[in-house]
């Protein structure tokens, strides 16, 4: 069906908003990572108490992302952008006023709730664009996040290093988020998917077999369950959740322990320790910039399988040598393999869940949050029993399981031109084109 000029204009604005939202989310994450040390300094917080504060933030973030998907589905994408961006921006700017441990924890909790909504809605926006246009865009959007994260971290470090003060960085970053939230009130957005899109997607992939089985048993068709966990029953959403869980586990372990491994186990310098984590993120960003072309050529299933194999090979290299340059090379290789996995997972969840894409994105994000937070604890417990090098071997296992998901998940698209083909017409497509 030919798309109207109004629909194409709305799609362009949707893409611009998604790019801006991913960029600011990444910049905020980079600034956050650098300025946590400044918050600890001004509040007199030692490492264990800072860890407790971050654990409290994680404890509110996980249930918040589960609720956020329902908010986005029921109240709309615009509400998610305005409340999520504006609210998290105000909370982030307010961190500039922190002077006590109690105030810091309070703002951490508020920020965790609001930024969870922001995190969910940006992925929903990207999924909406892919579903409406049939174009692969999630890898590039996540590459923007990675690049902006690096830029935000460097900008924050440079500002503080030159005497600008951490408070100004918090206010400036928060102000940009508020401006994006206000812009969300005016940007023309396409309508959300029609209410029966999710059921249509489920029917396309597996409802025929289920219906045949029910006919044979003489059972009556039951109403579709609408609970949050019921989105796992939609085709492909379970595979997306598995991919994000496995990959976020590896991300959390790399961020938490790669520098420690290089500096303590291999006795490399601080600079080398920083280069290791930077190499992983740089490789991830670079891989995501070209992931859409790779997916178009080979298909999502092969890319996921190959990415898991490449990541596993990278971790094997990093953990089988005592030479720091080879460890960094292994992290580079692992970053390249990991690059397309999370974008593919979010894309899969969004396009298969239709009108419930917010719920699917929130469930997938919650799985990632839990896995990312759990990874350091799991690695720490294993390292206490067997040493850090042996503990990190579970990264190889996790990457191999990613490859297995890519091999077995039948809802991942195949190779060639089908990945670029326009999405199947949606039940609400005619309304959206007017």
CA-based torsion, 368, 76, 182, 23: positive or negative: positive
Query: Structurally, what CATH architecture does the domain formed by 231-422 represent?
Result: Up-down Bundle (1.20)
Q: What percent of the chain has pLDDT over 70?
A: 77
Helices (H), ranges, 218-323: 237-260, 270-298, 300-319
162 class by beta-carbon count within 10 Å (0-12 exposed, 13-18 middle, 19+ buried): exposed
User: Is 417's pLDDT higher than 70?
Assistant: no
Strands of 118-200 (E only): list them. Answer: none
CA-CA distance, 426 to 434, in Å (whole number)?
A: 14
Mean pLDDT in the chain?
78
Question: Running DSSP on this structure, what letter comes out for residue 417?
Answer: G
- For the chain, the residue count is 434
Phi, psi of 235 (to 5 degrees): -55, 125
CA terminus-to-terminus distance, the chain: 12
Least confident of 232-241, 362-371, 396-405, 411-420: 411-420
Contact 432, 7 (CB under 8 A): yes
Mean pLDDT of 141-159: 81
Does the structure show a pLDDT above 80 at 277?
no
Both structure tokens of 391: 């503990």
Read off the tokens for 154. 């460097």
Averaged pLDDT, 232-255: 83
Domain with CATH 1.20.1250.20 in the chain: 5-190, 231-422
Amino acid 36: pLDDT = 75
Q: Where is average pLDDT lowest: 19-28, 224-233, 336-345? A: 224-233
- 3-class state of residue 37 by DSSP: helix
Residue (of 379, 377, 362) closest to 61 by Cα position:
362
User: 409 to each of 137, 226, 239, 242, 423, how far by Cα in Å?
Assistant: 21, 24, 6, 10, 19
Poorest-confidence range of 312-321, 352-361, 385-394, 401-410? 352-361
5-190: CATH topology is: Growth Hormone; Chain: A; (1.20.1250)
CB burial of residue 217 (10 Å; 0-12, 13-18, 19+) = exposed
Q: How far apart are CA 254 and CA 66, in angstroms?
A: 26
Confidence of residue 416 (pLDDT cuts 50, 70, 90): very low
Give yes or no for a contact between 18 and 122, defined as CB atoms under 8 angstroms apart. yes
Helix (H, G, I), strand (E, B) or coil at 386: helix
Q: Who contacts 355 (Cβ-Cβ below 8 Å, separation ≥6)?
A: 73, 192, 193, 194, 195, 196, 197, 198
> Is 60 exceeded by the pLDDT of residue 30?
yes
The residue behind tokens 């986005």 is 72
Decide: 278 and 384 in contact? Cβ < 8 Å.
Answer: no
Contacts 24+ apart (CB under 8 A), 33-42: 33/149, 33/153, 34/152, 34/153, 34/156, 34/157, 34/160, 35/95, 35/156, 35/160, 35/166, 35/169, 35/170, 38/160, 38/166, 39/95, 39/98, 39/104, 39/166, 42/98, 42/99, 42/166
pLDDT at residue 123 in the model: 85
What is the DSSP code (8-state) at residue 192?
Answer: P
Quote helix, strand, coil % in the chain, to nearest 5.
80, 0, 20
């Amino acid at each position: 069906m030919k798309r109207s000029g109004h629909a194409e204009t709305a799609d362009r604005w949707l893409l611009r908003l998604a790019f801006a939202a991913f960029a600011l989310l990444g910049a905020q994450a980079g600034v956050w990572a650098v300025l946590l040390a400044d918050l600890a300094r001004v509040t007199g917080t030692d490492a264990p108490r800072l860890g407790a504060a971050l654990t409290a933030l994680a404890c509110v973030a996980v249930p918040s992302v589960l609720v956020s998907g329902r908010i986005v589905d029921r109240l709309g994408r615009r509400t998610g952008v305005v409340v999520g961006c504006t609210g998290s921006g105000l909370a982030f700017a307010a961190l500039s006023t922190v002077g006590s441990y109690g105030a810091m924890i309070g703002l951490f909790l508020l920020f965790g709730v609001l930024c969870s909504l922001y995190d969910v809605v940006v992925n929903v926006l990207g999924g909406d664009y892919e579903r409406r246009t049939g174009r692969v865009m999630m890898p590039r959007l996540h590459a923007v996040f990675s690049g902006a994260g690096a830029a935000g971290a460097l900008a924050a470090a440079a500002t503080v290093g030159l005497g600008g003060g951490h408070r100004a960085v918090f206010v400036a970053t928060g102000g940009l988020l508020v401006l994006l939230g206000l812009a969300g009130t005016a940007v023309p957005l396409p309508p959300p998917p029609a209410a029966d899109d999710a059921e249509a997607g489920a029917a396309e992939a597996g409802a025929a077999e289920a219906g045949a089985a029910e006919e044979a048993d003489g059972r009556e068709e039951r109403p579709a369950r609408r609970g949050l966990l019921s989105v796992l029953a939609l085709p492909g959403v379970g595979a997306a959740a598995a991919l994000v869980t496995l990959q976020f586990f590896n991300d959390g372990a790399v961020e938490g322990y790669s520098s420690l491994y290089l500096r303590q186990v291999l006795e490399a310098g601080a600079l080398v320790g920083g280069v290791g984590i930077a190499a992983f993120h740089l490789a991830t960003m670079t891989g995501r910039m070209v992931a859409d072309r790779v997916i178009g050529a080979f298909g999502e299933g092969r890319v996921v399988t190959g990415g898991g194999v490449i990541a596993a090979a990278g971790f094997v290299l990093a953990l089988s040598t005592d030479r720091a340059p080879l460890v960094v090379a292994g992290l580079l290789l692992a970053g390249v393999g990991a690059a397309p996995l999370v974008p593919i997972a979010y894309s899969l969840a969004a396009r298969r869940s239709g009108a419930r894409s917010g719920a699917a994105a929130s469930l997938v994000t919650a799985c990632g949050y839990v896995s990312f937070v759990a990874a350091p604890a799991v690695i720490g417990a294993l390292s206490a029993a067997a040493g850090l090098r042996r503990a990190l071997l579970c990264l190889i296992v996790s990457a191999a399981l990613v490859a297995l998901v890519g091999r077995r998940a039948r809802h991942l698209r195949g190779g060639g031109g089908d990945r670029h083909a326009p999405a199947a017409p949606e039940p609400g497509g005619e309304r959206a084109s007017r």
